[in-house]
Amino acid sequence: MFNSKTILITGGTGSFGRKCVEIILKKYSPEKLIIFSRDELKQFEMSQIFDQRMYPCIRYFLGDVRDSERLTRAFAGVDYVIHAAALKQVPAAEYNPFEAVKTNVIGAQNVINAAIDANVKRVIALSTDKAANPVNLYGATKLCSDKLFIAGNSYSGYHETRFSVVRYGNVVGSRGSVVPYFKMLKSTGVIPITDPKMTRFWITLKEGVEFVLKCFDLSVGGEFFVPKIPSMNIMDLAVAIAPDCEHKIIGIRPGEKIHEVMITEDDARHTLEFDGYFIVEPEFKWWSAARHVSNGGKAVSEGFRYASNTNDQWISVEDLRKIIEE
């Protein structure tokens, strides 16, 4: 569905955006692939890898999702949008709450309005496990963003623009995440551990991108897509990266959870299970559950909860080492 189409990625110079561009260029032949981001240095660095002379479909578009006029200009003629732009560092969002709201909430509103006005066909927004029962500002802004995107399907009126959300857990090796942090500290001989019981959902960049692209084909508009992914324990990760290092327990940081949740008990009432993923359906009056039930979806049990500590898939220390090496 992406061949001969125009695709735009907000936050396109981030970890997800770079991998997404790589995979799209390998698998599809888009008319245009637009990288929308506010960092000119990252765009320059990315253009050294994905040169417009080698990939004539590539466009580098400077702009910020906070700027509605710039989004309107960028979205002209676009068929599909992947919204990956966000301020995602939990401590930074706690210390700079206004900035997180401007990007993650107001930015989401701007993307929705621009997509509707430009008659974009499909928009998929990236979410996070921290948006389920949020305890920090980042999670709260992403929950608000998710609600805005789902409501965008009603807001679009007679326009054909449809919005969906993909929610998944920690991405292996993404910038600012725990893997590069532990690698950096390996030489010190001490790895700080917030809580030895801590668990997290775990997904690779490649898996995350491929799931998002798959959801464009699955989406009707209004759904949350949640992949079935394994969990890992923070102690196993520390051993996998730095087996000879001492572990220092420092306690959890402000706004942090011991375990993460991607589907809450309240969401379970509207959740369908498929072989490799879940779909959380919206509560719109016009929504028909038959849309996805006909594709093999089965309602989850009452009180179902998809959490990192009760997951039935786990990654071993050896598997973690292989993933990190790759």
pLDDT, tens only, 306-320: 999 999 999 999 998
Residue of 170, 204, 167 whose CA lies nearest to 319: 204
Task: Kindly state the helix (H) or strand (E) to which residue 10 belongs, with its residue range.
Answer: strand 6-10
| Catalytic choice (19, 130, 142, 228) | 130
Q: Determine phi and psi for 314, rounding to 5 degrees.
A: -135, 150
| Residue 14: count of CB within 10 angstroms of its CB | 22
pLDDT digits (tens, 9 = 90+) for 71-121: 999 999 999 999 999 999 888 999 999 999 999 999 999 999 999 999 999
- The two structure tokens encoding residue 66: 């906070």
pLDDT above 90 coverage of the chain, percent: 79
DSSP secondary structure code for residue 27 in this structure: H
How confident is the model at residue 291, as a pLDDT? Answer: 64
Pairing of strands 6-10, 80-83: parallel
How confident is the model at residue 283, as a pLDDT? Answer: 84
Confidence band (pLDDT; 50, 70, 90) for 199?
very high
Tell me: pLDDT of 221 over 60.
Answer: yes
Tell me: pLDDT of 177 over 80.
Answer: no
pLDDT digits (tens, 9 = 90+) for 33-55: 999 999 999 999 999 999 999 99
Tell me: pLDDT of 288 over 70.
Answer: no
In the chain, where the domains are located: 6-169+203-228+264-306
- The two structure tokens encoding residue 161: 């623009």
Query: Which of 91 and 12 is assigned the larger pLDDT?
Result: 12
How confident is the model at residue 324, as a pLDDT? Answer: 81
Query: Is the separation of the CB atoms in 156 and 119 below 8 Å?
Result: no
130 is catalytic: yes
Confidence band (pLDDT; 50, 70, 90) for 289?
low
| Mean pLDDT across 255-260 | 89
Query: Is the separation of the CB atoms in 248 and 292 below 8 Å?
Result: no
| Mean pLDDT across 165-192 | 86
- The two structure tokens encoding residue 313: 């898939």
Confidence band (pLDDT; 50, 70, 90) for 323?
confident
Please state which of the four CATH numbers 3.40.50.720, 3.30.1360.30, 3.40.220.10, 3.30.70.120 is assigned to the domain occupying 6-169+203-228+264-306.
3.40.50.720
How confident is the model at residue 315, as a pLDDT? Answer: 92
